[in-house]
Structure 1
Amino acid sequence: MRHLENLILNTDSYKASHWLQYPPGVDRTFFYVESRGGQYERTLFFGLQAIIKQSLLTPVSHADVDEAREFFTAHGEPFNETGWRRIVDVHAGRLPLRIRAVPEGSVVPTHHALVTIESTDAQAYWLPSYIETLLLRLWYPVTVATISWHAKASILEHLRRTSDDPEGQIGFKLHDFGARGVSSNESAGLGGAAHLVNFLGTDTVAGVLTARAFYGEAMAGFSIPAAEHSTITSWGREREVDAYRNMLRQFAKPGTLVAVVSDSYDIYQAIDQHWGRTLREEVIASGATVVIRPDSGDPVDVVERCLHKLDAAFGSTLNGKGYKVLNHVRVIQGDGINPNSLRQILERVTKAGFATDNLAFGMGGGLLQQLNRDTQKFALKCSAARIDGRWIDVYKEPKTDPGKTSKRGRLTLVHAEEFDSWRTIAVPDEVDDLDAAPAPAGFRHALQTVYENGELLLDQPFTAIRERSARALR
């Protein structure tokens, strides 16, 4: 299975022929990554470091070149054997590239250069384009992090409106349920880690391990004991209350939380009869907080109705902002949750007089799978090439879709922190060091060189990434 780890084969088929398609005299190329718009006007940048560590730090070997040559010859594509042999012989298999990027955790408006890629060897001008397939998969963790961040903004808005302690609760208000709904464990890892930039709650083990492996965070997320339908229904319908009692006896201790799915049969009867009467005193005596989980029906209607029924059974207190906080119990809604339904639920329960304290959400497919590269219209494009010693602008400008017009020149991103203003600017031809390019008054360079000639130059800790993300919500 070694071929699955061969960097040269981590590309699209047609890329193998592109080294023959550039004009004579070209010796450098310059590419950039941007979100060209999409569902959200701002994106949270995350995941490049994981991709670099996973794919770009292992040197290419002559065995890799041999394997790639055999593959592409049989596959029907020409292969740049000379170019790849040079990378092995001259660069010890390390890619002669420079990658600059905005710090991970930054929240940047769309239509800006988030990453730039340039060749550093005159004979490897073709290389930035070759790794497009690999590098543009960055769209996935950025888009997951963006969805999660905007969900956090919605929840935090309602917490600040209805809760006495909004900042103390936000970390566990959106739980990642998405591992089983994605296409691969790698997706669960990258997407799960992207969510953990914003929240602390997850059931996606791969996300926690990805944050540990690539960002040095020993334990990025946490979970609690929780029932599933099989552990409840295996008791039989006539013993449903015994299944719930077992959850209390196994896990309900003072100060703990335990989540119990309660709609295997009838969520409203479960609350009215089992939780609200038969087990009420046991819940109170346990000292735990029992989190009731509905799992079907219209989530907006079901959540509100469950809150009213739990209020009738366990009572509530009014907080300092005049909203009800349930005693002893909470609700978590994980079925049918997406950014739209989440906002609708929050608005409904707020209107009904309940604090957001009473709710937590779980998001599965809506967080990790119901998205694609066009959700934020991600693209990696060439914007400049040096031909016969002179830089020229490279761009596309399709008449049939102005939204796909690409940027021109060697680009950098600048930021005015005082006004949170961002600009993507072209660097003058005579400036060789992009970090030394003149910036507009009040702006500072926002891109940092993270990878150069096979080495990771900047290793960003997860705590710093989380802080940048949180700062954008203050």
Structure 2
Amino acid sequence: MFRNTVDPLFLTDAYKLDHRRQYPAGTTRVYSNLTHRGSRIPGVEHVVHFGLQAFISDVLEDAFGRFFAADADRVCAEYERRVTAILGPNVIGSAHIRALHALGYLPLSIRSLPEGTLAPVKVPVLTVENTHPEFFWLTNYIETALSAAIWQPSTSATTAWRLRTLLTERARATGAPIEAVDFQGHDFSFRGMPGIEAAAASGAGHLLSFTGSDSLASEDWIRYFYPDDSGETLLASVAATEHSVMCAGTRESEDETYARLLELYPSGIVSVVSDTFDLWRVLTHTLPGLRERILGRDGTLVVRPDSGDPETILCGTGADDSPAGLGVVRLLWNAFGGTVNAAGYRVLDPHIGVIYGDSITYDRADAITARLAGMGFASTAVVFGVGSYTYQYVTRDTFASAMKATYVEVDGAGRDIFKDPATDSGTKRSARGRLSVLRDDAGELYVQQRATPEQEAASELTEVWRDGGFLRREGFAAVRARLRSETQRHAARTGGPAITTAAV
């Protein structure tokens, strides 16, 4: 893939190529941090820290490993050729690149909150600084790639965590089994993401909170960057059709297509896209005609509509007793029945179910589960396919994720530095000096600016990588477990719901 051919020296912005000469003479250290500085989502004031270990392994180890293994003359000649082509006559030179190659490792130290931590906005999730005075320029040289690698998986992990928290709350309120929520958010986003690696990383963020996913690339991404021997299930899905299957069976033979699929899958879960032609006919004619076969299976037939307004398709318009007025869930109840749980909410017969996988957002999931409760149904009557409509409609600015320098050393003296644009709202104001992340009496994280050595030693930011090698690596199961623990702690502070079952 792309990562196997990229030149790590150019995993940066072009304007950074000459920053080495722009720092004050005598600069020997640059210390920077990555912080999610704010939130564009009302009510969301924490971000799930995720993706750093993948960046370190992918870029700092794999890509720069190829750089150090290559011939120095060839590396420097190619660097000069490209810089000249980009910037014109090369006054930057390549002596610093040759010196780095001769050193044989990246002289950087990275300290980080443990991945899976719920970091309050404005609290740093990691810091980077150089460990060799000659290579102060490296700290912010890697900013571009580090930012690009971190913001999306962290944002997707936060999006999934927020949805998981909502669905957990609704399951508790309607007496549904909490373990069902592991599969209630199902990742459908792969095809709509901006590239395979972005889809894989985003999908891994989804899997911190859920187990259901069709994004198979995420499993490989996790196994490569977050390997462990826990035996924990990373990802699970079911047999399912698509519109091409239903179209090939023809409109005239749609009933026969359903019958054939039931023969093909005599047990287990099978999901059938049901609105290729006429969803309401399927629900009022085709499925009732197969009722005894469906109820006689050892498994669940899942109906999948994926066009129209999700809330009214699932819950009905309420205008009348027509199929559209009743909606999918009530039509399935009318045809197949079910039970009433201890909390007094209706639960569809386990042989039938429904998933909606188009244009699902947090707000729509909120509205749908609220309406289901109002109709007397447990929240888990519906599974949500969460696609790129949710995971792609975000940017680095969703949580104002940015890496900024806050401390330098020039001529042996430390300088606390910061930015504070007069024309900004305050979001871009950076911290000052060396930083420590500590917990208050309630267990919430906060940042201590201009930290003393003692405060840094007590910081939740601990060194994970130094001078070319990992000091701490974690498997995906550990990151998942930490997010669950963090969610319980967050719930205890705020009175919100906690995720008490694992996505396993």
Shorter-normalised TM-score: what interval? over 0.9
Q: 1:2 to 1:67 in 2, by over 3 A?
A: farther
Q: Identity percentage over the alignment?
A: 33
SS in 1 for 2:161: helix
For 1:351, which of 364, 374, 382 is the aligned residue? 374
The aligned counterpart of 1:184 is 195
**Structure 1 contact 169–357 (Cα < 8 Å) conserved:** yes
Instruction: Tell whether 2:480 aligns with 1:457.
Output: no
Instruction: Tell whether 2:131 aligns with 1:120.
Output: yes
For 2:58, which of 54, 59, 62 is the aligned residue? 54
What do the CA deviations read for 1:145-167 (whole angstroms, capped 9, x no partner)?
0001001011111011113421x
Q: 1:162 to 1:64 in 2, by over 3 A?
A: farther
* Residues in 1 aligned to 2:486 and 2:171: alpha-carbon distance in whole angstroms: 17
TM-score norm. by structure 2 comes to: 0.88
* Residues in 2 aligned to 1:334 and 1:428: alpha-carbon distance in whole angstroms: 48
SS in 2 for 1:437: helix
SS in 2 for 1:211: helix
Shift in Å at residue 282 of structure 1?
A: 0.8
For 1:329, which of 352, 362, 371 is the aligned residue? 352
The aligned counterpart of 1:407 is 431
Q: 1:451 to 1:66 in 2, by over 3 A?
A: farther
**Structure 2 contact 436–456 (Cα < 8 Å) conserved:** no
The aligned counterpart of 1:18 is 19
The aligned counterpart of 2:75 is 64
Instruction: Tell whether 2:396 aligns with 1:385.
Output: no
Instruction: Tell whether 2:45 aligns with 1:41.
Output: yes
The alignment yields a C-alpha RMSD, in angstroms, of: 1.7
Instruction: Tell whether 2:470 aligns with 1:446.
Output: no
- Following superposition of structure 1 onto structure 2, how do residues 95-244 of structure 1 map, counting pairs within 5 Å? 95-137=106-148, 138-166=150-178, 168-217=179-228, 219-244=233-258
**Structure 1 contact 414–446 (Cα < 8 Å) conserved:** yes
The aligned counterpart of 1:81 is 94
For 1:270, which of 282, 285, 291 is the aligned residue? 282
Instruction: Tell whether 2:318 aligns with 1:296.
Output: no
* Residues in 2 aligned to 1:172 and 1:80: alpha-carbon distance in whole angstroms: 55
Structure 2 unaligned blocks of 5 or more: 316-326, 488-497, 499-504
Equivalent pairs, count: 458
* Residues in 1 aligned to 2:358 and 2:174: alpha-carbon distance in whole angstroms: 24
**Structure 1 contact 46–105 (Cα < 8 Å) conserved:** yes
Q: 1:366 to 1:412 in 2, by over 3 A?
A: farther
Shift in Å at residue 366 of structure 1?
A: 2.9
The aligned counterpart of 1:261 is 273
The aligned counterpart of 2:265 is 251
Q: Which runs of 4+ in 1 moved over 6 A?
A: none
* Residues in 2 aligned to 1:355 and 1:3: alpha-carbon distance in whole angstroms: 48
Shift in Å at residue 428 of structure 1?
A: 4.3
Q: Which amino acid aligns with 1:407?
A: A
Q: 1:353 to 1:6 in 2, by over 3 A?
A: same
Which stretch of structure 1 is more off in the superposition, 313-322 or 3-12?
Answer: 3-12
Shift in Å at residue 5 of structure 1?
A: 2.0
Q: 1:371 to 1:428 in 2, by over 3 A?
A: closer
The aligned counterpart of 2:449 is 426
* Residues in 1 aligned to 2:181 and 2:93: alpha-carbon distance in whole angstroms: 52
**Structure 2 contact 159–391 (Cα < 8 Å) conserved:** no
* Residues in 1 aligned to 2:22 and 2:334: alpha-carbon distance in whole angstroms: 72
For 2:394, which of 362, 371, 377 is the aligned residue? 371
* Residues in 2 aligned to 1:135 and 1:64: alpha-carbon distance in whole angstroms: 22
Shift in Å at residue 341 of structure 1?
A: 1.1
Shift in Å at residue 67 of structure 1?
A: 1.8
SS in 2 for 1:31: strand
Q: 1:3 to 1:170 in 2, by over 3 A?
A: closer
Structure 1 unaligned blocks of 5 or more: none
* Residues in 2 aligned to 1:335 and 1:399: alpha-carbon distance in whole angstroms: 43
**Structure 1 contact 6–64 (Cα < 8 Å) conserved:** no
Q: Which amino acid aligns with 1:437?
A: Q
Q: Which amino acid aligns with 2:157?
A: A
Shift in Å at residue 220 of structure 1?
A: 1.1
Shift in Å at residue 438 of structure 1?
A: 6.2
TM-score norm. by structure 1 comes to: 0.93
* Residues in 2 aligned to 1:450 and 1:428: alpha-carbon distance in whole angstroms: 19
SS in 2 for 1:260: strand
What do the CA deviations read for 1:372-395 (whole angstroms, capped 9, x no partner)?
101111111010111121111111
**Structure 2 contact 416–450 (Cα < 8 Å) conserved:** no
